[in-house]
Amino acid sequence: MNLILLDPKQMLSDLSYALSERQQTHIHKVIKAKSGERLRVGVLGGKIGEGIYEAETPEQPAHIHSVVLSAEPPAPLPMTLVMALPRPNMLKRTLQNITAMGVKDIYLIHSAKVEKSYWQSPVLKPESIHQCLLEGLEQAKDTTLPKLSFIPRFRPFVEDQLPALLEEKEGLLAHPYQAKPCPINLQKPCVLALGPEGGWNEFEVGKWLEAGMESVQLGERILKVETVVPVLLSRLYPA
């Protein structure tokens, strides 16, 4: 948590915000701040700046007051990430990392090699997902939540939704066969589609290519999803 991210719902008065239990614990145990200390804060969906911390007393709850918001959050990555739904034990970390890196448009999609059971995981519940995204923002000192969509049916997405998403964007399919090297420092927006462990199947690859995507590869090494995501994003948008 490199930023205390305040939800407008936490607002007590104009420049003052209540703290959630999680934030209080973090301030107390990790930052070890005392009442009166200035902390880095941000308002969800807004700017970042500073505020003064006050610990809980019998008279008042823990809160941040005198909030001054002076800076814009870091720039987003100009891309849409379409990713096969990762296995539940990878999903949290993956979403946190993607959010921390600045992706604002995320689609988690079904694919032949995604086990159906993954779609039943409690990690997919809205509160759990919201929490992952918040943690990604707090890590990166960002305030803008990504838009996250679940796509349990592959075909209607690729046939009906994808063409509109691809307008004026480069369409890149991470798929190591018959592929050109993935571009470096792309300098234009893209839609990037990233397969499950084991890759997209032949039907899926055909569908992506039909829709106008182009296959790209990263060299001979096979990397885990958790490594491939930062590798690809950093290569496309090293900023």
Is the separation of the CB atoms in 63 and 16 below 8 Å? yes
Asked if 224 is part of the footprint of its own copies (rule: CB under 8 A), the reply reads: yes
Number of residues that bind its own copies (CB under 8 A): 29
Which region, judged by CB under 8 A, interacts with its own copies, from 118-126, 143-151, 166-174, 181-189? 181-189
Is the separation of the CB atoms in 211 and 158 below 8 Å? yes
The one among 92, 128, 222, 225 contacting its own copies by CB under 8 A: 222
Distance CA 235, CA 184 (A): 5
The one among 67, 140, 172, 192 contacting its own copies by CB under 8 A: 140
The one among 46, 49, 74, 88 contacting its own copies by CB under 8 A: 74
Question: By rule CB under 8 A, what string of x and - marks binding of each residue 96-125 to its own copies?
Answer: -x--xxx-----------------------
At its nearest, how many Å lie between its own copies and the CB of residue 235? 5
Asked if 88 is part of the footprint of its own copies (rule: CB under 8 A), the reply reads: no
**Complex with its own copies: residue 13 or 185, whichever CB lies closer:** 185
At its nearest, how many Å lie between its own copies and the CB of residue 97? 5
Asked if 2 is part of the footprint of its own copies (rule: CB under 8 A), the reply reads: yes
Asked if 221 is part of the footprint of its own copies (rule: CB under 8 A), the reply reads: yes
The one among 61, 184, 187, 210 contacting its own copies by CB under 8 A: 184
The one among 44, 113, 142, 151 contacting its own copies by CB under 8 A: 142
Q: What is the 3-state secondary structure (H, E, C) of the chain?
A: CCCEEECHHHEEECCEEECCHHHHHHHHHHHCCCCCCEEEEEECCCCEEEEEEECCCCCCCCEEEEEEEEECCCCCCCEEEEEECCCHHHHHHHHHHHHHHCCCEEEEECCCCCCHHHHHCHHHCHHHHHHHHHHHHHHHCCCCCCEEEEECCHHHHHHHHHHHHCCCCEEEEECCCCCEECCCCCCCCEEEEECCCCCCCHHHHHHHHHCCCEEEECCCCCCCHHHHHHHHHHHHCCC
The residues that touch its own copies, with contacts defined as CB under 8 A, are 2, 74, 97, 100-102, 139-142, 182, 184-185, 219-224, 226-227, 230-235, 238-239
